[in-house]
Amino acid sequence: MEWLEEDENYDYHQEIARSCYADMLNDKDRNVKYFQGIRAAVSRVKERGEKAIVLDIGTGTGLLSMMAVTAGADFCYGVEVFKPMANTAVKIVEKNGFGDKIKIINKHSTEVTVGSDGDMESRANILITELFDTELIGEGALPSYEHAHKHLVQEGCEAVPHRATVYAQVVESKRMWSWNKLSPIPIQAESGQKTIVFPTEMDVCPGAPSVCDIQLNQVPWRDFVPLSEVLTMFSIVFSKPVSRAPASYTVKLKPIKSGTAQVVLSWWEIDMDPAGSIKCSLAPYWVQGTLEENPWRDHWMQCVYFLPNEEPLSQGQSVDLTAFHDDYSVWYKLQKSRNEDSKTSEPTKRPVCVCQAHLLWTRPRFGELNDWDRTSCYFQALKKVLKPNSICLSISDGSLLPILAHDLGTEKVFTLECSSLSRSLMRKIFSANHLEDEITILEKHPELLIPSDFEGRKISLLIAEPFFSTSLLPWHNLYFWFARTALEGHLSCDVTVLPQSASLHLMTVEFKDLWRIRSPCGTCEGFDMRFMDDMIKNSLDFRESREAEPHPLWEYPCRSTSDPLTVLTFDFQQAVPEHPLMNEGIINLSRCAKSHGAVLWMEYHLAPNISISTGLVQDSNEKDYCQWTPHCKQAVYFFSSALEPSSPASGPSAVAYAVSFDPATGEINMDFKPLI
C-alpha cells in the first residue's frame, strides 16, 4: 500500500526504471485534464480573494505541484513517501525554478503536521491528488482523503479531481469465467470415457479477493455478452469529507438479455471540476466509441470482478446489483430484487478464497487449465509415450498431468509438489477423482529424493508441462531441466522425457502502444516533459538494466518486423550442460516500420509433431496484429531507442543479436545491436 524502506543493497534505481512513471508522464489525456482542473480550482480560490495554498498528495515527479504554481497558486506542499522519488522531485522542482514556491515533504500524508513547527504552516485550500489505481481506491485513497480533510485542508476546500464515479456492467463471458473456476474435463481413457472433476469447495468458492485488472479494450466483442446496460454504482466527492468506513451501494437492473451472469466489468471516471466539464474516463471502447478514440494508458486499466456464483438472468426481470468496498477493495454481489427501492445494502465481508486454488493459481493459470486444446495436446502426447508398465514421475506445480497419466493406464504415478499449498490442493483434487491412493505425492525438492521415495523403482517416464508458480519469464520454467538433472540417478537407462525438448524463439516487433512505458517523455502544455525525464534519470544515477521483462502481449497489440526465428534449443533427454549455450546472428527487419524491441518465448516439444507454444499463435499481416497465447506472459526486450527503417528507398535495416543460456544461473542473457 506504500513504499517501505529496504536495506542498503536494494536497487531502487531499477524499481523506478521499471515503474509506470514514463507511462503516466506520457498520458497526455491525464496531464491535460489535470492541468485544466488545477487552473480552474486556482481561479475559483482567487475569485474569493484568498491565497491559493495547495496540498499535492503523492507528488511523484512534482508535475502536478508545478502545474499548480504555473496556474497561479501562491504555495504548494508536495507530499511523497518514497524517499528516492522525493529527492528527485526536489531537484526537478528547483531546476524548473519553482523551489521558492514548492516544498517537497518526504512523509506519508497521514504523518504530515500543520502549524508553526509543522511540515505545513497552514492548512491548504486546494487538494490535489493522484492516488488512484485501476480499482480507484486500491492505493489507499480513502484513508488518505479522510485524514487530509480532518487535519490538512480547510473545510470547503477545492479538490482536483472533484469527484469520481464508478460504473459497472453485468456480462456473460465463457472466456473470462474460465479465469476463475475450473470446468470438468472429459477424457477418453483406456477404460472408457472419464471426466476429471474438482472438489465441491472449488465450485462454491467466491474466488480470489483481488481485482482482475486488464486492458479490457483488447477483449473482443465476441468474447462476452452484455446482460445489462452500463450502471452508475456510486460516486465519491473529494472536496467534502471522505470516510474510509466500509460501504455498499445497490442499484436495480433489468437485464437487456437473458443469460448467465458471471462477471461484472467495472471502470471509473473522474471529474476535475464541480461542473463535470473536465472528465477523464476509463470507459472501454463500446462505451466511449471506437477503440482508436480511447486514450491508451497502462497505469489505469479496467476491472473484471467475478460474481461468487453464476446467476441465471431473465430479460426484463429486475435484480439488485450491489457494490461493496472497504479501505482498499471493491466487490460485487447479484441478488433478487427487493420490493422497495434501495440505495444501499448492508456491507458483507470481502470475498476470500476457501478452496486454496485461487491462492496457488493466477487467473491466466485457470485459463490454461481450462484450455481443452492444450490439455488434448498433452493427452495425445502421453498416449504416444506411455506404456502399461511405465513408472511415471510428474514435475510441475499443481498439474493435472498425473491424472491424465493414471487414466491412460500407467503402472505407477508419482508427482513432485515442493509447495505445501500445492500439495494440499492436489490431494483434494486427487481425492475428488478417487485417486488419493493411486497417485503418490512426494514432498521433497528433487535433489533430496532417495530410492525409497520411489519404492526402489526407477523412473521410466518423466513428465512436465512444465509450469512453476514462481516463474516470471518464459525460460524460468527450465527449472524442470535442472530437476531432471538432479534426478539422474533415479531415471532408468531408457527413460522417456516429456517434453522431449524446448526451444527459445525471438521476433522483433512494432508495438501499437506498449513502447510508451519506456519512451522518453514529450511535452504537456508548456512543461518540457523530456527535461523531467532526463532529471529523473540523472538525479537517480539512472541505470535501467538491459533485460527482458514479462508482459501478456494479448493485451498489447504489436506487429512483427521480422520473421520469428529459433535461437536456442534445450534437449531434456540430456542433463543440463556444464557450459553455456550460445547463439548469435542477424535479424533482417522485414517491414518498413519502427522496431521497438524483441519478443522471446518458449515452445515445448512434447512428442513428434506435438508442441505447445507459450508465445506466438499467429503472425501479423498488413491488417491484423500478432496473436499471442493468452495464458502466458512473453518476454519483451525494449531497444534503447526504436529502430527506424534505413530509408524508404533502401528498405528495412537489420539487428545483430547474441543470446546465451547460463547453466550456472538458469538465466538467458541477450544483447541487440542495430546494423547500419
Residues with catalytic annotation? 130, 139
Euclidean distance between CA atoms 300 and 243, whole angstroms: 23
Beta bridge partners of 335: 320
DSSP H or E run through 77: strand 75-79
- Cell numbers 508548456: residue: 526
User: Cβ distance 132 to 192 under 8 Å?
Assistant: no
Q: Are 129 and 58 in contact (CB under 8 A)?
A: yes
Q: Which residues of 380-414 are buried (b: 16+ CB within 10 A; e: fewer)?
A: ebbeebbeeebbbbbbbbbbbbbbbbbbbebebbb
**Per-residue DSSP letter, 343:** S
- Taking the C-alpha atoms of residue 529 and residue 523, their distance in angstroms, rounded to an integer, is 5
Q: What is the DSSP letter of 446?
A: G
First to last CA, the chain: 47
- For residues 490, 492, 494, 500, the Cα torsion angle rounded to the nearest 10 degrees is -30
Closest CA to 179 of 37, 352, 361, 376: 361
Chain mean position to CA 215: 9
Q: Which 8-state DSSP code applies to residue 428? A: H
* Angle of helix 83-95 versus helix 529-539 axis, rounded to 10: 130
Q: Scan for cell 469447495, then name that residue.
A: 201
CA proximity to 273, closest of 165, 166, 167, 159: 159
Q: What is the DSSP string of 276-334?
A: S-SEEE---HHHHS-GGGSPP-SSS-EEEEEEEEEEEE-TT--EEEEEEE-SS-EEEEE
Cell of 222: 465476441
